[in-house]
Copies of this chain bind each other. A is one copy, B any other.
Amino acid sequence: MTHMPSEIPIPETRHLIPDLVIGVDIGGTSIKLGVVNLEKGKILREISFKTPNATAKETAEILARHVNVLIHQYPDITSIGIGVPGAMNLDRTLAQYPPNFPKWEIEPFAQYVKEALPISELVVMDNDAKVAALAESKFGSAIGEKFFMLATLGTGIGGAIVADGKIFRGAYGGAGEFGHIMINYQGPESNSGIRGVLEAYLGQKYLSDSTLEKLKDGKIKSSLRTFLPGGSLEPKDIYEAAQAGDAFAKEVLSEAGFILGIGFATIATLLDIRIFIVSGGVAQAGDLILNSARESLKKNVLAHQRDSVEIRVSKLVTSAGVIGAALLTVAEKM
Give chain A's interface residues, CB within 8 Å of chain B.
Answer: 87, 96-97, 99, 106, 146-147, 159, 161, 163, 168-178, 180-186, 192, 194-196, 259, 262, 265-267, 269-275, 299-305, 308
Known: A87-B304, A175-B273, A194-B301. 8 other contacts (CB 8 A): A96-B304, A159-B270, A171-B275, A173-B272, A181-B269, A182-B266, A194-B299, A270-B270
Kindly identify which residue among B161, B177, B259, B269 contacts A302, using a CB–CB cutoff of 8 Å. Answer: B177
* With A146-B171, A170-B147, A171-B146: A270-B302 Cβ-Cβ less than 8 Å: no
* With A171-B272, A272-B87: A183-B182 Cβ-Cβ less than 8 Å: yes
Decide if A175 touches B265 in the complex (CB within 8 Å).
no
CA distance A146 to B266 in the complex (A): 23
Decide if B304 touches A270 in the complex (CB within 8 Å).
no
Residue of B nearest to A180 (CB): B269
* With A177-B269, A270-B267: A300-B171 Cβ-Cβ less than 8 Å: no
Kindly identify which residue among B171, B195, B272 contacts A170, using a CB–CB cutoff of 8 Å. Answer: B272
The residue in A173, A174, A265, A305 that gathers the most chain B C-beta atoms within 10 A of its C-beta is A174
CA distance A227 to B62 in the complex (A): 68
* With A96-B304, A97-B304, A305-B174: A270-B169 Cβ-Cβ less than 8 Å: no
User: Which of chain B's residues have a CB closer than 8 A to the CB of A303?
Assistant: 96-97, 192
Decide if B174 touches A304 in the complex (CB within 8 Å).
yes
CA distance A96 to B305 in the complex (A): 10
Closest 7 CB pairs of A and B: A170-B272, A147-B171, A174-B272, A175-B272, A96-B304, A180-B269, A181-B266
Kindly identify which residue among B96, B170, B181 contacts A273, using a CB–CB cutoff of 8 Å. Answer: B170
Decide if A163 touches B170 in the complex (CB within 8 Å).
yes
User: Which of chain B's residues have a CB closer than 8 A to the CB of A270?
Assistant: 159, 161, 175-178, 181, 266-267, 270
CA distance A161 to B196 in the complex (A): 24
User: Which of chain B's residues have a CB closer than 8 A to the CB of A177?
Assistant: 269-270, 272, 302
